[in-house]
Amino acid sequence: RKEVEQDPGPFNVPEGATVAFNCTYSNSASQSFFWYRQDCRKEPKLLMSVYSSGNEDGRFTAQLNRASQYISLLIRDSKLSDSATYLCVVNNRDDKIIFGKGTRLHILP
Amino acid sequence: NAGVTQTPKFQVLKTGQSMTLQCAQDMNHEYMSWYRQDPGMGLRLIHYSVGAGITDQGEVPNGYNVSRSTTEDFPLRLLSAAPSQTSVYFCASSYLTGGANVLTFGAGSRLTVL
């Protein structure tokens, strides 16, 4: 089993719709979790951290399920500008940082 | 704030040539790393450093050398370029937090080896 797995997509979603995708991780001792966003031909940038209690930042909601070892990202009222690749990132206690391969999202006008 | 600065942005090499990709950060981050990104492969860690004078291998270190003589700089050297090293290279840095590192990436360096 890969350490961090994501559905590569692409997810083709009409503007204004809600979209969600998950990321699973294999190390039950993983310490912290993040979603990064990467635009085409650009560097990855932090979108949001994922807290145990779940957290929201505007239209974005991230959740962590430690029992089933997955994190999720929900985007409400999607905008054309949300089109990007979303990378799931897991940090272990030894500062090892593991990236998923990313989920591509296309918002359709 | 400059953040993480990578140079050059683009480079074309011939097989067998050597070169150095430069990375500098001005945030006093202890942790610095180099990734390569290829289509369908995601980000793969080449080398990383947890402080000046300390470096370690990542997932795909072969064909690359690094050094960390200062906190700010972490150059990546290609010793004898091969077409398989054609890729986009990202440098990233962060504070060391014992498991909650938030990486700041440079803008990337696109390397083509002919």
Per-residue model confidence as pLDDT tens for chain A (109 residues): 678 999 999 999 999 999 999 999 998 888 899 999 999 999 999 999 998 888 999 999 999 999 999 999 999 999 999 999 999 999 987 778 899 999 999 999 9
SS3 content of chain A, % helix, strand, coil (to 5): 5, 55, 40
Closest CA–CA distance from residue A58 to any residue of chain B (Å): 20
Which residues of chain A lie closer than 8 angstroms to B42, CB-CB? 87, 99-102
Distance CA A39, CA A27 (A): 28
Cα–Cα–Cα angle for A97, A99, B109, nearest 5°? Answer: 95
Other beta carbons less than 10 A from residue A6's beta carbon:
22
Residue A20 sits at the chain B interface (C-beta within 8 Å): no
CA distances A25 to A11, A33, A66, A69, A91, Å, are: 21, 10, 9, 6, 11
Token output for A16 = 């204004």
CA distances B26 to B45, B90, B92, Å, are: 22, 16, 12
Question: Are B102 and A99 a contacting pair at CB < 8 A?
Answer: no
Which residues of chain B lie closer than 8 angstroms to A101, CB-CB? 40-42
